[in-house]
Amino acid sequence: MERRAFLYWVGVGTLASSLPVAIAACSADSDSTISTSSSPDTAQSPAQSSPAVQNGYATVGTVQTLDQSGSIQAKDFAAGPLLVVRNPSDKTKLVAVNATCTHKGCLVDWNAKEQLFVCPCHASKFKSDSSVAQGPADKPLATFAVKTEGDSVLVKAS
Ligand code: FES
């Protein structure tokens, strides 16, 4: 093979071998375009999880959801993990507690059958007014002011 022909084929080979790299570079740009276009969605998510606050009250859910599931939980609520239930002794009223157990800090659940907040860690139980029904916890759960406006459930974060 002549030297000129050899150099020609080396040049073609170099171009051909760099083509996949160029395509991959274009694909990387496409991906960044996709992630850029999805950024507004990502930006909306925190807004959706951070409810609007008016007069210290934040919307944490709907009455419909509360009645369907028996409780509203918001572990990322600004003032601490939140649990909202209907007051068992007056179903027209709601109860909102900080779900952090006062014993060692596990998160309590609402037991609708017992009508008590129950801690899964060491079995402390709290009445719907947040007072201790059964230890080892010896302090009541912290409570929040709660109200409804239309179908919205609002809890005061401070
Ligand atoms: Fe709740 Fe111990 S952390 S009973």
pLDDT tens digits, 120-151: 999 999 999 999 999 999 999 999 999 999 99
In angstroms, what is the span from residue 68 Cα to ligand 1's centroid? 28
| Atom in ligand 1 nearest the alpha carbon of residue 106 | 3
Ligand 1 binding pocket includes 122 (Cβ within 6 Å):
yes
Q: Give the model's pLDDT for residue 53.
A: 67
The finding on whether 104 has its CB within 6 A of some atom of ligand 1 is: yes
157 Cβ inside 6 Å of ligand 1: no
Atom from ligand 1 closest to the CA of residue 137: 4
pLDDT of residue 9: 52
Q: What is the whole-number distance in angstroms between the Cα of residue 103 and the centre of ligand 1?
A: 5
Ligand 1 centroid vs 57 CA: distance in angstroms? 29
Per-residue DSSP letter, 119:
-
So what's the pLDDT on residue 56? 85
Place of tokens 């150099």: 7
| Sign of the torsion angle spanned by Cα atoms 131, 66, 61, 147 | negative
Residue 106 in contact with ligand 1 by CB distance below 6 A = yes
Strands (E), the chain: 53-54, 57-62, 72-74, 82-87, 90-98, 109-111, 116-118, 125-126, 132-134, 143-144, 146-149, 152-156
Q: Is the pLDDT of residue 70 over 80?
A: yes
Q: Using only C-alpha atoms, what is the Rg of the chain?
A: 29
pLDDT of amino acid 3: 55
Residue 76 near residue 98, CB atoms below 8 Å? no
- pLDDT, residue 54, reads 73
Cβ 97 under 6 angstroms from ligand 1:
no
Sequence-separated (6 or more) residues with CB below 8 Å from residue 20: none
Residue range 39-48: average pLDDT? 36
Q: What is the pLDDT of residues 89-122, one digit of tens each?
A: 999 999 999 999 999 999 999 999 999 999 999 9
Q: What is the pTM of this model?
A: 0.65
The pLDDT score that the predictor gives to residue 158 is 67
Average pLDDT, the chain: 76
